[in-house]
Structure 1
Amino acid sequence: MFIETADIVFLRLYDVADEIRLDRLSSNLFSGRLPFRQGLVRVDNQSIDLVRPPAAVELGPQSWVVGGEHLDVSLSARFFDFGVISLGATATLGNLDLEQFADRAIQMGMGPDLDRLFETELRTLMDSVSESLVDRRETPFFSEEYTLYVVRRTAEPVTKSDLKDLPALIRLIFGEKKPLSRQQAHLALENAFSYTENDLIILNYNNAFIVEEGDYADLRLLLEYANVQLLEARYYDDLLNRRLEKLFKDLGETRWGLTSVFSGKMSRIARTAMQLILETELMTDHLTSAVRVTEDVYYAQIYNRALQLFRTKAWLLRMDEKLRAMRETVELLNQEFTSRRAEILEWIIILLIAVEVVKIFL
C-alpha cells in the first residue's frame, strides 16, 4: 500500500475549568482569528444531534521539533462548554509506503516532546481566554490523548477486506514496532467500519485509522466528543471520590450525643450528602445529554463503538453505584438521627417528670 497523501492529527484534551463561557470567546483573543461553532456537516441531524457544539478556532501553522525532527503542523483548538479545551496538531505526510508511514507515525508519537509542546500552547491559550473560564482548574489537569491517522490518497484502493493482509497497519493501530499476530488483526477488524468502497475507519482506544478522500471533520469531531465524555466521566468520578472521602471523614469524626443531635451537625452532613448527590446527577445528565443519537446509521455506529471502546458507560455506571450507596447511607443516617433524637427527647421528658415528682415530695 503506497500512501500519496496522509494527515496525522495529534489531539490533546484537557479539563481546565468547571465551564467555558463560549459566548465570551472573540476574535480579539486569537490574533484576529474568529472562533466559530463547530457542528456536524455531513452527518444527518436526524441521526446524531450535537446539543452544545464546541467553539473552534484555527491557530495557524507552527514549526515544532519532535524527536529531533522539524515538524510543520497546523494547530487548532476547540472549546467545549463542559470546561474542556481540545488542541489538535495536524501534520501532513506523503509519498510513503505503509511500512514507512507506520514507522514514522509511531516514532512521532513517542517521547515527551509532543506533550511538552501541547502544554506550552495550552498555558498560552488559557491565559488568553481566562475570562471565559469558570472556576479555572489548578494543574495538573485531567487529560486525554488521541491520534487520527487519515489517509487521503493512495496509489490503489484500500478496502476492509484488504486489512488482514496489511500487518503494518495493525501494528500502527496498536502502536507497536514489531509485527503482531493474526489474533490482534482479528481484534482490530472487529472495530472497522466502511460506508462505501472508498472509505474506511478502524477504531482503537487511543487512535483511529481513517481512509477518506473527502472532508473528515465530522469523524474527528465525533471522536473528540467521545473523548471529551470519557475525560469528564473520569474527572467527575475522581471528584465524587474526593467528596465522598471528606463526607465519610466528617461522619466518622462525629459522635452521637446530645450536642451533635441538637446542634444540627448531623442534619448538615445529611444535607451536604444530598447536595452532592444532586450535583453529581446534574453533571452526569449534562454530560450524557450532549450528544443525542436517534438512529443506528453509519456515524452513529462509529460514535457508539468509540464510547464502548473508551468504557465511558462503565465509568458512569461506577458513579451510579457510588451514588446509590450514598443514598442508602443518607437514609440510614436520617433514621439513626431520628431515632437518637427521639431517644434523647424521651430521656429529657422522663428527667423533667422525675424533677416534678421530687418537687412534690419536697
Structure 2
Amino acid sequence: MIMLRFYRIYDIGLEIDLDWLEKELARSFTTARTGFLRVKPTSILMDVTPLTIGMGQSVVQKEGKTFSFNVFARIFDIGAISLCFVYERPESDFALLEETGLLFAGQEGLSDLFLTHLNTLADILRPRSRGFALNPDFFEDYTVYLMDWMDASIDPIPLLAGEKREFSPQMIEEIFRDSQSYTKEDIAILSWDSALLCKPDSPTDLFDLIEFANVQVFELRYYDRELSRQMGKMYEDIVLADRLSPLRRRQKYRKIMMQLMQNNAELSEITEKVNNLVKVTEDAYYARVYAAVLKTMRSSQWSESVNHKIKVIRDNYSMLSEEVRIQHSNQLEWIVIALIAFEIIMAVAERVI
C-alpha cells in the first residue's frame, strides 16, 4: 500500500467552542474527535481534541491521469483549520509513490482544490463563529508519504526534496538527520516540508502528531506576524501622539496603553495554548517524533520571536506608563505652584486693601 497526504493549515483568527460546533454540524456532516490508537489515553494530552469533518471526495486531472482524493478538515479550538487530501493505492510500489509525489511536488496543481474546500468550510463556519476572519493566502503546507515496507534499495531523497538531482552529502545528511524508528521494520524520515513513513501497519497516530506539530508551528508564525503588525501600529500611534498637545498626548498614551494591555493579555493566553497544544508524556517514541518535527520546522525560533515581541510590547507599555506618570506628576507640580502663587497674590492683595 502507498498513501500521500497533502495538508494545508489556515488561521481564522479566533478561538472556537468545538463542543458546540460539533453539535451544530452533526446533523449535516460526518464528524469525529481525535483519538490515539497505539498509546494509553494519558500518554498524549490535549486540553481540547480537534474536530474532524469528512468532506467527501474530489477528483484532480493532471498530465492525463485522474487522481481521486478523500478530503478531511480538522478544526482546532485555538482557531486553526487543517485541510487534508488523501490519495491511496493498494500497490506496494515505491516507484509509483515517487512518480505521484514528484507530479504533485510542492503541492503543485492542488491550490484550486484547497481553495474550493476552504471556501466551503468558511461558509460552514462563518455563521457559527463570531469575528470570523480568514486569509487564504497565508498557510502552512506539509506532505506525508506512506509505504508499508522499506529496504536499502529505496532512495527517499528525491521524493522528500521534490526533485530528482544529484544531491550533496550535506543535503542528504540534513534530510536524514531527524529520522526516527520504533522497530527494525519501520522508519519515519522527517523533513522540513514533508515526511516519509515506512511501516507495516497504518501509522494513524503519527499522521496526527505530524499534523498537530505543523498546526503549532503555523500558529506561532501567525501570531509572530500579528505581533509585528501590532508593534508597527503601536509605533505609529506613539509618533502621532508625540505631535499632540501635552493634555491630548497623555490621553492618547492612555488609549495606547489600554490597547497594549488588552492585546498582550489575549496574545499571551493564546500563545500559551499554542505552545502547549500537545503534551506527549509517557511514550518516548512519539515524544521523539513530535520533538523532531518541531525541530525541523524551526519551532523554537518562531517561539523565541513571539516571546521577544511580547516582551517589546510589555516594555513599551512600561515606558508609556512611566511617561504618563511623569506627565501627571509634572501637572500636579504646576497645579501646586499655581495654587501657591494664587495664595501669595491673594495675601498681597489683602495687605494692599
Q: What is the TM-score normalised by the length of structure 2? A: 0.89
Deviation at 1:264, TM superposition (A): 3.5
Evaluate the alpha carbon distance shift between residue 69 and residue 16 of structure 1 in structure 2; reply closer, same or farther with a 3 A threshold.
farther
Deviation at 1:199, TM superposition (A): 1.4
1:203 aligns with 2:162: no
> Where does residue 235 of structure 2 map in the other structure?
248
> Where does residue 34 of structure 2 map in the other structure?
38
Picking from 14, 19, 26, the partner of 1:18 is 14
Tell me which protein shows more strand as a share of its residues: 1
Deviation at 1:92, TM superposition (A): 2.0
Bigger drift between 212-221 and 128-137 goes to 128-137
**Percent identical residues:** 30
Deviation at 1:211, TM superposition (A): 0.7
Deviation at 1:93, TM superposition (A): 3.6
Where do 1:31-180 residues align within 5 Å?
A: 32-93=28-89, 95=91, 98-110=94-106, 112-152=108-148, 154=149, 157-158=150-151, 162=152, 166-167=154-155, 169-180=156-167
User: SS where residue 113 of structure 1 aligns?
Assistant: coil
CA contact (8 A) 1:61 1:72 kept: yes
Letter of the 1:41 counterpart: L
Gaps of 5+ in 2: none
Bigger drift between 277-286 and 37-46 goes to 37-46
User: Distance between the aligned counterparts of 1:293 and 1:128, measured in 2?
Assistant: 32
Deviation at 1:29, TM superposition (A): 4.6
User: SS where residue 64 of structure 1 aligns?
Assistant: strand
Q: What is the TM-score normalised by the length of structure 1? A: 0.87
Evaluate the alpha carbon distance shift between residue 178 and residue 258 of structure 1 in structure 2; reply closer, same or farther with a 3 A threshold.
closer
Evaluate the alpha carbon distance shift between residue 237 and residue 294 of structure 1 in structure 2; reply closer, same or farther with a 3 A threshold.
same
CA contact (8 A) 1:77 1:87 kept: yes
| Aligned pairs, number | 348
Letter of the 2:297 counterpart: F
Letter of the 1:299 counterpart: Y
Evaluate the alpha carbon distance shift between residue 110 and residue 281 of structure 1 in structure 2; reply closer, same or farther with a 3 A threshold.
closer
Evaluate the alpha carbon distance shift between residue 221 and residue 321 of structure 1 in structure 2; reply closer, same or farther with a 3 A threshold.
same
> Where does residue 299 of structure 1 map in the other structure?
286
CA contact (8 A) 2:105 2:163 kept: no
Evaluate the alpha carbon distance shift between residue 335 and residue 112 of structure 1 in structure 2; reply closer, same or farther with a 3 A threshold.
same
Deviation at 1:276, TM superposition (A): 1.9
CA contact (8 A) 2:210 2:293 kept: yes
CA contact (8 A) 1:26 1:34 kept: no
Deviation at 1:345, TM superposition (A): 1.8
Bigger drift between 52-61 and 209-218 goes to 52-61
User: SS where residue 20 of structure 1 aligns?
Assistant: coil
User: Distance between the aligned counterparts of 2:123 and 2:220, measured in 1?
Assistant: 26
Bigger drift between 179-188 and 205-214 goes to 179-188
User: SS where residue 207 of structure 2 aligns?
Assistant: helix
Letter of the 2:56 counterpart: G
Evaluate the alpha carbon distance shift between residue 40 and residue 277 of structure 1 in structure 2; reply closer, same or farther with a 3 A threshold.
same
Evaluate the alpha carbon distance shift between residue 239 and residue 39 of structure 1 in structure 2; reply closer, same or farther with a 3 A threshold.
same
Deviation at 1:189, TM superposition (A): 2.1
> What per-residue deviation string (whole Å, max 9, x for no partner) do you get for residues 199-253 of structure 1?
1110011110001222221111111101111111111111111122212211111
User: Distance between the aligned counterparts of 1:353 and 1:293, measured in 2?
Assistant: 68
User: Distance between the aligned counterparts of 1:47 and 1:326, measured in 2?
Assistant: 37
